[in-house]
Amino acid sequence: MSALRTRPPAVAGQFYPGSVRALRAEVEALLAAADGAQGAAPPKALIVPHAGYVYSGPVAAAAYARLRAARGRIERVVLLGPAHYAERPGIAAPSVEAFETPLGPVPLDRDAIAAIAELPEVAIDDAPHAPEHSLEVHLPFLQVALGPFRLVPLAVASASAGAVARVLERLWGGPETLIVVSSDLSHYHGFAEAKRLDALTAEAIERFEGAALSGEVACGYRAIRGLLLEGKARGLTIERLDLRNSGETAGPRHEVVGYGAWALYEQRESGS
């Protein structure tokens, strides 16, 4: 039997601990410290930051703590993030069979990837994924919060909101599918200016106004735009879970990066 073809971790030991014991302990501590809203319905989608855990980990944990009620129910995660290293436009899906972290391999949903591969904006391309941290840093949180699941990792380069929404429409599924969009907010402003910019970005997200977003205020704005477009069409509601910057977590305040976390929920029929 041939070995599983995997993408090895690129930022283990840099953005998050490289050892199994230290990584699991850190993720579990971050989740335990977050408000998990016990008893709340699990979200259909999350918007979560992707910096090193020392900086954005508490904000990310505010989102992943909402998955406690969905453990054993969510079987597939569609994970979209900015392609920082892409050399061509579109949305890149990998050809490998698993993504590796120190906590073990996460199998890819090759059937789901095949279902979107025919879309003109989607390409099978491993190159953007090899060095990319915007997807990788979420995997340990998902592994600890959910247990086993299958992954659809998508690196979004210059794709329109409509293109992203078309991908999401095909992969939407039911309660077995979670959508996660990876994005940090403003970059390298002073503390007060970052707070102002990130507040405006948060308000636009919460009004489902994706057109108001740009790369100046959110590096994952293209994927967020697509999620907001599809989410609005489906009547999702949105909840802000956290909004902070690196000056409030672990860094200096003269030059900060903003982080936000949101949960999006499907409407339930009365009496259901």
Q: For residues 207 and 134, what is the distance between their CA atoms, to the nearest angstrom?
A: 25
Q: For residues 57 and 9, what is the distance between their CA atoms, to the nearest angstrom?
A: 18
Q: Report the CATH number of the 12-265 domain.
A: 3.40.830.10
The structure's pTM equals 0.95
Residue 50: name the closest of 79, 74, 25 by CA: 79
Band (pLDDT 50/70/90 cuts) for residue 140 is very high
pLDDT digits (tens, 9 = 90+) for 214-233: 999 999 999 999 999 999 99
What is the predicted pLDDT for the residue at 41? 82
Task: Please give the mean pLDDT across all residues of the chain.
Answer: 94
Contact residues for 26 (Cβ-Cβ < 8 A; gap 6+): 16, 17, 53, 57
Q: Which of 3-12, 92-101, 139-148, 196-205 has the lowest mean pLDDT?
A: 3-12
pLDDT digits (tens, 9 = 90+) for 4-60: 699 999 999 999 999 999 999 999 999 999 976 665 789 999 999 999 999 999 999
Q: For residues 78 and 152, what is the distance between their CA atoms, to the nearest angstrom?
A: 5
Band (pLDDT 50/70/90 cuts) for residue 86 is confident
Give the single-character DSSP code of 1. -
Span 76-92, mean pLDDT?
93
Span 145-161, mean pLDDT?
96
**Token output for 112:** 């789901």
Q: For residues 179 and 220, what is the distance between their CA atoms, to the nearest angstrom?
A: 14
Q: What angle do CA 68, 71, 77 make, to 5 degrees?
A: 105
Calculate what percentage of the chain has a pLDDT beyond 90: 90
Cα dist from 175 to 53, 180, 217, whole Å: 28, 14, 31
Per the CB < 8 A criterion, the answer to whether 140 and 66 are in contact is: no
Entry field: residues in the chain? 272
Calculate what percentage of the chain has a pLDDT beyond 70: 95
What is the predicted pLDDT for the residue at 267? 80
Residue 3 has pLDDT above 60, yes or no: no
Span 249-255, mean pLDDT?
92
What is the predicted pLDDT for the residue at 1? 36
Give the single-character DSSP code of 12. B
